[in-house]
Every structure is written in structure tokens, then in C-alpha cells.
Amino acid sequence: MTSYSRQDVLRIMQISSHQLQGWERAELIPQRQTYTFQDLGQLRIVRALREGAVSAASIRQSIVAMKAVAGMANPLLEACPVRTGTRLAFRHRGAMVDPIRRQLLIDFERIARFDQADETSAMAEPSLLRPLGSANPRSAQDLFITAVQAEESGEKQQAITLYLEILALDPEYAAAYINLGTLFFHMRQYARAEELYRRATVADSGYVLAFFDLGNVLDELERPDESIAAYRQAVALAPRYADAHYNLALAYERKGLGRQALRHWQSYHKLDNRGPWAEHARGQIRKLLSRENLAIVWRATEYIPPSKGSAALELAGI
């Protein structure tokens, strides 16, 4: 594989050493002595965004949020970043996503060049966020755009009416179930939100956000076993979905299942190791590891034979 020195990168990218060091400090590009062709591609994207007046902090926040939402290792290369004001959105598998606000955005450019065959192909892939249903895509999408605009304007009742109209046209329109469910969730109508999230999981069994949101509402309804099952499905569909690992760890802790919680705290920390949530995860990891070590020391002081009929591996399952 061809490699490039730092001097090569400065010459090829026509940037200064100060710029490169600044992007490395902001964690927009890994700090290296030699770079790959893929690194050059990432640097070109970063340079274009910075030239477009998107701040380094905003780029990093969007990257971290997209990693959490979509389970990506490198969103700048795995999705298509799009400047929206001073922030970033990402085009990914038929949707345009604002990862910080966790919203589907209206992609006017994509609508203008909408191609039915391409859309059908994109919809066949598993996706975290999907904007379209399977039937009446043009009319349903028009209504979806209007509904999102109504939400952004604070016109919640109009948005609810529009989402219901979409679902009357296309009962398989999973994104409409999700957005409608979230409106009811914020209104604390949890039973209605649960019903809508469940319908989203049926309409699209690969819709990761549907299972994540279902886990959240089940948690609010204090049904921990069902909540854990929903989060586990989200993690199974998107193993790099950091927020699902975080919520799953919390759910396991509430059930007193420390070892299961530890596994997901560690997974979360690997995916997101900065900020207050990462600090909380580190604290939980230290606490659980300390608890396990104390338990092991206590067992080592005396041999206690297993009771009659107990499984030989029972101690290891605590």
C-alpha cells in the first residue's frame, strides 16, 4: 500500500503544518507520521469543510454523534457529509440525518434528482434511519417533508395529522411510525408511543432506531426485560451503536446484572471515550471491576463445596 510522509501530505493537500496539527488535536484525523490514500481522502473532506466555514469543534461533534447514531467507525468516509448552516448532516442509505438532533432532514437536492430504481435498491439494505416507505413513495415523501417542517416549526398537531395521513397511504412507512411515536413519547403518552415503535419494527425489521426507541419507552414503562430485549436487538443490528450499549448497560444494572452491564459499559467506552457520558461509563467500569475483584478475594479464603444438585459452573455465572 502506498504511504505518504507528513511532508508529502502538506504538499499534496496544500495545507500548512499548523493546519494539520490543529486537525489532529481536534481529532478530525489521526496523528500519524505516514498516511494512507484513505487518510488523504479524509483530509480532503476535512479541508473542504473547514474552507466552508464549518468549525473543527462542530465537525468533531457531528462525527461523534454519527458514530453513536449509525455505529460507524469513520462517518466522513462511510457516509456523505453535508454542510447545513454551521453544522454537518450526513447522507447515508437513502436518508439525510442530523446526528446531533437525531432527526431526518429534508434533502431537497436528492428529491430533485429522485430516481425510483435507485430508491428501491437503497431501501433493500438494512439502515438505521429510513425516510421512505415501500408504496406511493412520491406522495408519501411529499407528506413526510411537510410533516418534518411542521415539527420543526413547533406545529405538533399538524405534524401528527400528516404522519397519520402518510400511514393511511402506506402502512409500511416505518419512519412515519418513528416520528409519530416520538411526538407521543415527548407528550408522555408512552403506551401510544410503544404501539407505534412496535409497528415500526414490524414494518422494517432492520430499522435499528425503531428497536432503540422501543427500548427507551419500555424503560419508561418500567418493563426492564422487554426493554433489554429491544436494546439487544438494536446492538445486534448495529454493533457499533454506542447509545444502545449505554442504555443496555443501564438496564442491566437496574436488574442487578453487573457482569452483563460491564460488557456493554466497556463496549460503549471503546466507541466513545470523551465527554460526560464516557466519564460515567469509566466510573461504572471501575466500580463493577472493583466489586468483582472483592468477590473473587472473598471466595479464595475458603472452599465451599457446591450444594447437592447444583451446577458445577454456578459460581462463574454470578
State residue 24's pLDDT score.
85
Average of per-residue pLDDT values in the chain: 77
Residue 55 amino acid letter? S
Contacts of 149 (CB under 8 A, 6+ apart): 106
pLDDT single digits (tens) 92-129: 766 777 777 766 675 555 544 444 434 433 333 334 44
Mean of pLDDT values over 64-90: 78
Residue predicted with more confidence, 317 or 139:
139
State residue 124's pLDDT score.
34
Mean of pLDDT values over 147-171: 86
State residue 304's pLDDT score.
46
Q: Report residue 90's pLDDT band, with 50, 70 and 90 as the boundaries.
A: confident
5 strand-pairing partners: 34
Q: What's the rounded Cα separation, in Å, for the pair 243 and 99?
A: 12
Q: Report residue 2's pLDDT band, with 50, 70 and 90 as the boundaries.
A: low
Q: For residue 283, what is its C-alpha cell?
A: 466510573
Residue predicted with more confidence, 285 or 208:
285
Q: What's the rounded Cα separation, in Å, for the pair 305 and 179?
A: 56
Cβ of 153: how many Cβ atoms within 10 Å?
10
Rg (alpha carbons) of the chain, rounded to whole number: 23
Q: What's the rounded Cα separation, in Å, for the pair 105 and 128?
A: 14
Greatest C-alpha distance within the chain: 75
